[in-house]
A and B are shown apart, each in its own frame.
Chain A
């Protein structure tokens, strides 16, 4: 058994009453509720936590992808993976994952993952997800037709 530290990087400074009033923390929750100074603090804190997980002996650390939501601040997990790649001494780095249906050209993700795999000297897990409904709203992607496209791309 291996034990990984999976971070979701929520926007911890979110105004819970505003979320309640809006009815959702996703897609329709205005970015006017986001304070970039607090956001910067959170990004650094969360990356510190993942580096600490490496020092503590976790087998790996995990990033994920969500869009336009206070639930998670990682729309492009590869950026954070790049920041971590030079710091992780032992742990494997996993990105779970990139949502193929949301991009026009999947080769961009192949390139991103190839670089991460090199930087990590092979201690890298390449994850792919379909994305939940909210991502298709956030990115303006036709879900029924792109799901089929995604199946073609991964096979």
Chain B
């Protein structure tokens, strides 16, 4: 695995850190509440067939904390500017958890530059009567355990993610996440009304044992987005990209290829 190119990209006065690697159609990954973090194996595998672009959201990690950032809507408009600034066309947009919510917010506004949308363990809507874990009521360690079906994997992630040198970045990420998702907790009460506007092929990927957004959420997204398809991975938690990287990459690549052929 070789390193990606890391650049600081300025869009409308806000500078964000961007990792990029690979050749092919652009595949834009929007990260979840833990930040973009390091270049991971699943990204590298995708880079074999795509131009993989992983920006760090404004407010997170190595990116600016702009004054204008109040809601997920602000981030959605930022990323519409971002794809325009980089002049990306035919983008395969992949959103993970909070990034899935963000991708959906972007897509209900404008799909002009998108070829497809993939939502993974996505936040953004509310499904009644589904017990969910509230990550703000968990310790740092327990929160990471909740992400995974395989607890051995959870322990490895805990050792890496809670390293003392990452304390400042983790705090920054946590603060901006609270600002974006605290109330209503992890969704926009208006988003579900507009998901029908998404007119690009959409794939909904989920872990069967997702405790944060249980699989009923996959069913709801699939129902609300016209023509979308869902795939649920067995023995997998909230992060199929980490827990089932090979299956995850295969599904994303197959979907993009199918849609190109169609």
Interface residue A140 (Cβ < 8 Å from any Cβ of B) = yes
| B 130-144 binary contact with A (CB < 8 Å = 1; else 0) | 000000110000000
Q: How far is the CA of A143 from the CA of B136 in the complex (A)?
A: 12
Q: How far is the CA of A144 from the CA of B178 in the complex (A)?
A: 7
**Distance in Å: Cβ of B137 to nearest Cβ of chain A:** 7
Q: Are B182 and A142 in contact (CB under 8 A)?
A: yes
Note all chain B residues with C-beta closer than 8 A to A143: 178, 182
Q: Are A28 and B182 in contact (CB under 8 A)?
A: no
Q: Are A142 and B175 in contact (CB under 8 A)?
A: no
Note all chain A residues with C-beta closer than 8 A to B183: 140-142
Interface residue A137 (Cβ < 8 Å from any Cβ of B) = yes
Interface residue B179 (Cβ < 8 Å from any Cβ of A) = yes
**Distance in Å: Cβ of B254 to nearest Cβ of chain A:** 40
Chain B interface: which size bin? 10 to 19
Note all chain A residues with C-beta closer than 8 A to B175: 144
Report B170-190 residues with CB < 8 Å from chain A CB: 175-176, 178-179, 182-183, 185
Chain B's closest residue to A140 (CB) is B183
Interface residue B84 (Cβ < 8 Å from any Cβ of A) = no
Chain A's closest residue to B175 (CB) is A144
Contact of A145 among B70, B136, B137 (CB under 8 A): B70
Chain A contributes a number of interface residues (CB within 8 A of B) equal to 10
Contact of B178 among A27, A28, A140, A142 (CB under 8 A): A142
Chain A's closest residue to B70 (CB) is A145
Note all chain B residues with C-beta closer than 8 A to A145: 70, 179
| A 8-36 binary contact with B (CB < 8 Å = 1; else 0) | 00000000000000000001100000000
Note all chain A residues with C-beta closer than 8 A to B178: 142-144
Chain B's closest residue to A139 (CB) is B183
**Distance in Å: Cβ of A31 to nearest Cβ of chain B:** 17
**Distance in Å: Cβ of B88 to nearest Cβ of chain A:** 31
Note all chain B residues with C-beta closer than 8 A to A27: 137
Q: How far is the CA of A28 from the CA of B176 in the complex (A)?
A: 24
Q: How far is the CA of A144 from the CA of B176 in the complex (A)?
A: 8
Q: Are B137 and A137 in contact (CB under 8 A)?
A: yes
Q: How far is the CA of A136 from the CA of B134 in the complex (A)?
A: 14
Note all chain A residues with C-beta closer than 8 A to B179: 142, 144-145
**Distance in Å: Cβ of A21 to nearest Cβ of chain B:** 16
**Distance in Å: Cβ of B203 to nearest Cβ of chain A:** 32
Q: How far is the CA of A142 from the CA of B185 in the complex (A)?
A: 9
| A 127-155 binary contact with B (CB < 8 Å = 1; else 0) | 00000000011001111110000000000
Note all chain A residues with C-beta closer than 8 A to B70: 145
Note all chain A residues with C-beta closer than 8 A to B136: 137
**Distance in Å: Cβ of B92 to nearest Cβ of chain A:** 32
**Distance in Å: Cβ of A30 to nearest Cβ of chain B:** 14
Q: How far is the CA of A144 from the CA of B183 in the complex (A)?
A: 11
Chain B's closest residue to A144 (CB) is B179
**Distance in Å: Cβ of A132 to nearest Cβ of chain B:** 14
Chain B's closest residue to A141 (CB) is B183
Q: How far is the CA of A61 from the CA of B185 in the complex (A)?
A: 38
Q: How far is the CA of A141 from the CA of B178 in the complex (A)?
A: 10
Q: How far is the CA of A143 from the CA of B180 in the complex (A)?
A: 10
Closest 4 CB pairs of A and B: A144-B179, A142-B182, A142-B183, A140-B183
Given contacts A27-B137, A141-B182, 11 further A-B contacts (CB under 8 A): A136-B182, A137-B137, A140-B183, A142-B178, A142-B179, A142-B183, A144-B175, A144-B178, A144-B182, A145-B70, A145-B179
22 contacts between A and B (CB under 8 A): A27-B137, A28-B137, A136-B182, A137-B136, A137-B137, A140-B183, A140-B185, A141-B182, A141-B183, A142-B178, A142-B179, A142-B182, A142-B183, A143-B178, A143-B182, A144-B175, A144-B176, A144-B178, A144-B179, A144-B182, A145-B70, A145-B179
Q: Which A residues have a C-beta under 8 Å from some C-beta of B?
A: 27-28, 136-137, 140-145
